Amino acid sequence: MTTDAKILSALRANPGGVSGAELAGQLRISRAAVWSHIEDLRRLGYDIEAGPHVGYRLAGEPDALIADDLLARLNGTRVIGRDIRVFEQTASTNDVVEKLARDGAGEGAVVFAESQTRGRGRLGRQWLSPARKGLWFSVLLRPELHPQETTRLTVASATALCRAIQSQTALAPEIKWPNDILISGRKVAGILTELSAELDRVRHVILGVGVDVNWSAGELPAGLRKTATSLRIEAGEPVSRPALATAILRELDADYSRVCAGKFGEVANEWEARCTTIGRRVTIRIGARQLSGRAESLDEGGALLLRTEHGHLERVTGGDVTLEK
């Protein structure tokens, strides 16, 4: 953790204020150096009050993603978020992480962008990612899974996203297979899982996550209003993006640990409980092919098991799902 991050941690741990002398002692730097870091943080938008009796006190935080701040809030995870980078703008955070992966970056690296110029969803579709309206980020994983088991990671990401959103907003997110998070039937977040593999060995997986956080109803593009929403619209108030980002990374770390420890069954049970697709009659379009039937459950690889009209059980790993009324 950098000194800025340590100071933010100390300020949060002492909401009543902490003296410059105490900070200097904890961090083993001079009081003048503490003051200089406080000035840095103020320039980033942190409202830090200073007074003779309270010392330094954190009175307000910017609505910005700052790597040091995220590290300070995260305060240690097993894998995910050991390395966090924030870009003001990128074409696509998945592409940035792909490049990091090829340059040998360790797993758990996370790249956020305040905005993406070419954010993408599944099947090459566009994902709108304007500045500060949401969280757009990607995570590098190097799991010891067979390529066919990587669907497990999409499943685990969905449960992690749901828990994090619920903890920060008290909303009740639902999952639409394979990768959508809905609130009241409208999409609020999505997961794009990209895989680099040999036939029998995963080299790396990139989880791309997009969460529509602080769009107001008027800001959502007209074409999306029927099918999409934001946490702010649903919760009735803005949501802290840094707090949500940290919550998501922590929950992702927990669920990734469960998958790596062979406890995918636990994750799958939680997923099925939140999934609006399971138990429903659905139509799934996969390229030119179309399958109809009842979505029964997930198999151990994370694929959807669909009972077709002929009673046959099909294993489906992707496609566009339409729920029948």
**What is the binding site for a copy of itself (CB under 8 A)?**
98, 102, 122-124, 144, 146-148, 150-151, 154, 178, 192-201, 203, 286-287, 317-319
Angstrom CA distances, 65 to 89, 212, 214, stand at: 12, 15, 14
Angstrom CA distances, 36 to 3, 4, 18, 30, 32, stand at: 11, 10, 16, 10, 6
Q: Which is nearer to a copy of itself, 144 or 237 (CB)?
A: 144
DSSP helix/strand/coil, 66: coil
Q: Which is nearer to a copy of itself, 120 or 258 (CB)?
A: 120
Q: Which is nearer to a copy of itself, 108 or 208 (CB)?
A: 208
259 alpha carbon, distance to own chain's centre: 17
Number of H helices, E strands in the chain: 9, 14
Q: Which is nearer to a copy of itself, 193 or 230 (CB)?
A: 193
Measured distance CA(145)–CA(173) in Å, rounded: 28
Q: Are 178 and 223 in contact (CB under 8 A)?
A: no
Q: What secondary structure letter does DSSP report for 193? A: E
Q: Which is nearer to a copy of itself, 130 or 147 (CB)?
A: 147
Least distance (Å) between residue 83 CB and a copy of itself: 22
Least distance (Å) between residue 196 CB and a copy of itself: 5
Least distance (Å) between residue 318 CB and a copy of itself: 2
Q: Which is nearer to a copy of itself, 20 or 301 (CB)?
A: 301
Measured distance CA(13)–CA(37) in Å, rounded: 17
Least distance (Å) between residue 6 CB and a copy of itself: 38
Least distance (Å) between residue 181 CB and a copy of itself: 16
Least distance (Å) between residue 155 CB and a copy of itself: 10
What b-and-e string marks burial along 47-82, b requiring 16 or more CB atoms within 10 Å of the CB?
ebeeeeeebbbbeebeebbbbbbbbbbbeebebbbb
